A and B are shown apart, each in its own frame.
Chain A
Amino acid sequence: MRKPLIFWGLLVVALVALPPLAAKLGQPFYIDLVRRIMILAIAAVSLNLILGYGGLVSFGHAAYLGVGAYAVGILGFYGISNGWVHLLVAVAVSALVAAAIGAVSIRTSGIYFIMITLAFTQMLYYLGISLAEFGGDDGMRLKAKSQFAGLVDLRDPVQFYYLALGVMLLFVYLTYRIVNSRFGMVLQASKSNEARSRAIGFSPYPYRLAAFVIAGAMCGVAGALYANHTNYITPGLMSWHQSGELMFMVILGGMATAAGPVLGTFALLLIEEVLKGWTQYWQVVLGPLLVLSVIFFKRGLAGLLQ
């Protein structure tokens, strides 16, 4: 019971201390890197809700990352730069898209579910490519960052950093509350034994769909932040590589644990960063590493904490 609290305490202290440290060392690059990691960790946390706790192997979670990012980009394109509007639209549209995809996909299971979520995300990917007005294949530049007048200025890298940290911690806490609520119990029960949860009177479908929509909406927030982070939005954000990476973040860290997705995102992206420093052919090393981690490292990093 104590260990997780100590872990989160240390993590928060380290992450809070990073910007002043990086500034002192003259390495602002690290602020940028860790901010990107934290934003993607938000996406991984949201995927963990359905993949880890719900047992829904969605191979298309990058869709909502893209939808959230395009919401910001397209609103900005039409001159709307109010950050609250950006967030609201990103959340609303991702939730809607997740509801549509989930309504069809959750009727299927197993390999069919994996494939159909992949297929729907591919559809959105091609939609992004064919939106010539919004950059098509090349993507679009964000005209102006989301503006939260007086509250936080995203153009300041350090303020944006702390915003990302705050949202990440908030979503970790939200997920924790959700999975430990009555709703979360039903969700986990239908993962571990669908027949029994039916027998005691719960139909898994509405619970799974609700979790799917919540996860999509949360990931939409990550997308909106990501657009602000890169200032550039491409369909590649919705590619199946991105979906696969999100799954790896959850698995490497440990499924169905609060800390897992955060740890996994840090691990995966830091390994990538180190390998990129070594060789331009870094994926030839990363690929086998990932295969080995799946075969031998079943419980993930969070498993080491327990």
Chain B
Amino acid sequence: MTWGLVFEQSLNGLQYGVMLFLMAAGLTLVFGIMNLVNLAHGSLYMMGAYFAVAATQWTGNYLAGVALGLVATLMVGMLVEVVALRTLYERDHLDQVLATFGLILFFNELVAILWGRAALYTSLPSWLQGHIDLFTGSRYPLYRAAVIVVGLVVAALLWYVVTRTRLGMLIRAGASNRTMVGALGVNIKLLYTIVFGAGAALAGLAGLMAGPIYSVQPGMGELILIQVFVVIVIGGIGSIRGALVGAVIVGVVDTLGRAFLKPLLGHVISPTAAESAGPALASMMIYLLMAVVLAVRPAGLFPARG
């Protein structure tokens, strides 16, 4: 275990964290403003990945595929909001969980009908392949580096929109008192649809960036969705800053745990015991982390105001 490897795995953790953040930002905004628990957020991630693959094959151009994939996910998100979720804002969380669970079943099967149950693998355009040199003897895949950059740029953009623009002001106002915002003459329904669509597009972006790293298959959004819930619970539900911090913590802890827990445990207990305990502990780490955070700070690290 060299420091170069640790550094590389930390970057992988950051890359995963950035993707978690793209998911978490939309989910936490939708929860903070509309008070909606949306399990189907993972389905939008999946739709983004599939749309991008299909559009890339159709146009023959990676960037065009990405753009079309984003637009398509945005449209699907808005459609779902208008058709199904709008009626759920006033319901309790139980109803929201159940209805969006039904949506997951629908989307998983829809994807299986359209593209089959087998995983799709995608290839990257040549300009995204290859490695970059970090320092002597250590290289990092260019594509993963690009994912980190895109994620951080989107995070900065999101910060700018939410804190510095009129739309962002409405979003923040909606989060603290939506009845009042409606009373002041803002078209709250339209605002909701826009926020939901934007959240869907962010999830789609995460999904289409995940495509070339992981596999594109039905149900691909579910594992990441549960981890995103851990992220927003750790960060504090409704807080974008919390989502960013939580995402990076969860991404790094999960990735480093998977990479190093087994060899580290091998030093402490017998290697054969570490062989089976390592992976088990590694996949439980983030849930343990969440339990600890909730025990110490029941409303997460950055509780949203209002």
Q: Which secondary structure dominates where chain A touches chain B? A: helix
* Pair count A-B, CB < 8 A: 122
Which of these binds chain B: A15-23, A90-98, A114-122, A193-201?
A: A114-122
Please report the C-alpha to C-alpha distance between residue A257 and residue B105 in the assembled complex, in whole angstroms.
Answer: 27
Beta-carbon contacts under 8 Å, A100-129 to B = 104, 107-108, 110-112, 114-116, 118-120, 122-123, 126-127, 129
Q: Find out whether the CB atom of A104 lies under 8 angstroms from the CB atom of B295.
A: yes
Q: Find out whether the CB atom of B99 lies under 8 angstroms from the CB atom of A283.
A: no
Given the known inter-chain contacts A115-B233, A281-B112, A284-B110, please indicate yes or no for A247 contacting B105, CB distance below 8 A. Answer: no
Question: Closest residue to A282 on the B side, CB-wise?
Answer: B109
B108 at the interface (CB under 8 A from A): yes
Beta-carbon contacts under 8 Å, A119-157 to B = 119-120, 122-123, 126-127, 129-133
Beta-carbon contacts under 8 Å, B7-60 to A = 31, 37
A289 CB contacts on chain B under 8 angstroms: 102
Question: How many residues on chain A are close to B (CB under 8 Å)?
Answer: 41
B280 CB contacts on chain A under 8 angstroms: 126-127, 130-131
Question: Closest residue to B110 on the A side, CB-wise?
Answer: A284
Q: Find out whether the CB atom of A283 lies under 8 angstroms from the CB atom of B108.
A: yes
B226 at the interface (CB under 8 A from A): yes
Q: Find out whether the CB atom of B84 lies under 8 angstroms from the CB atom of A291.
A: yes
Smallest CB–CB gap between A135 and chain B, Å? 13
Smallest CB–CB gap between A239 and chain B, Å? 9
B102 CB contacts on chain A under 8 angstroms: 286-291, 294
Question: Closest residue to B237 on the A side, CB-wise?
Answer: A111
Smallest CB–CB gap between B86 and chain A, Å? 10
Given the known inter-chain contacts A104-B291, A119-B230, please indicate yes or no for A288 contacting B284, CB distance below 8 A. Answer: no
A281 CB contacts on chain B under 8 angstroms: 109, 112-113
Q: Find out whether the CB atom of B290 lies under 8 angstroms from the CB atom of A290.
A: no
Beta-carbon contacts under 8 Å, A61-97 to B = none
Beta-carbon contacts under 8 Å, B274-291 to A = 276, 279-280, 283-284, 287-288, 290-291
Question: Closest residue to A294 on the B side, CB-wise?
Answer: B99
A127 CB contacts on chain B under 8 angstroms: 280, 284
Please report the C-alpha to C-alpha distance between residue A281 and residue B87 in the assembled complex, in whole angstroms.
Answer: 27
Question: Closest residue to A290 on the B side, CB-wise?
Answer: B102
A133 CB contacts on chain B under 8 angstroms: 276
29 contacting pairs across A/B (C-beta < 8 A):
A104-B294, A104-B295, A112-B233, A112-B298, A114-B37, A114-B93, A114-B97, A115-B229, A115-B230, A119-B233, A120-B291, A122-B287, A127-B280, A127-B284, A130-B280, A244-B97, A244-B101, A247-B94, A248-B98, A281-B109, A283-B106, A283-B108, A287-B107, A290-B102, A290-B105, A291-B84, A291-B106, A294-B91, A294-B95
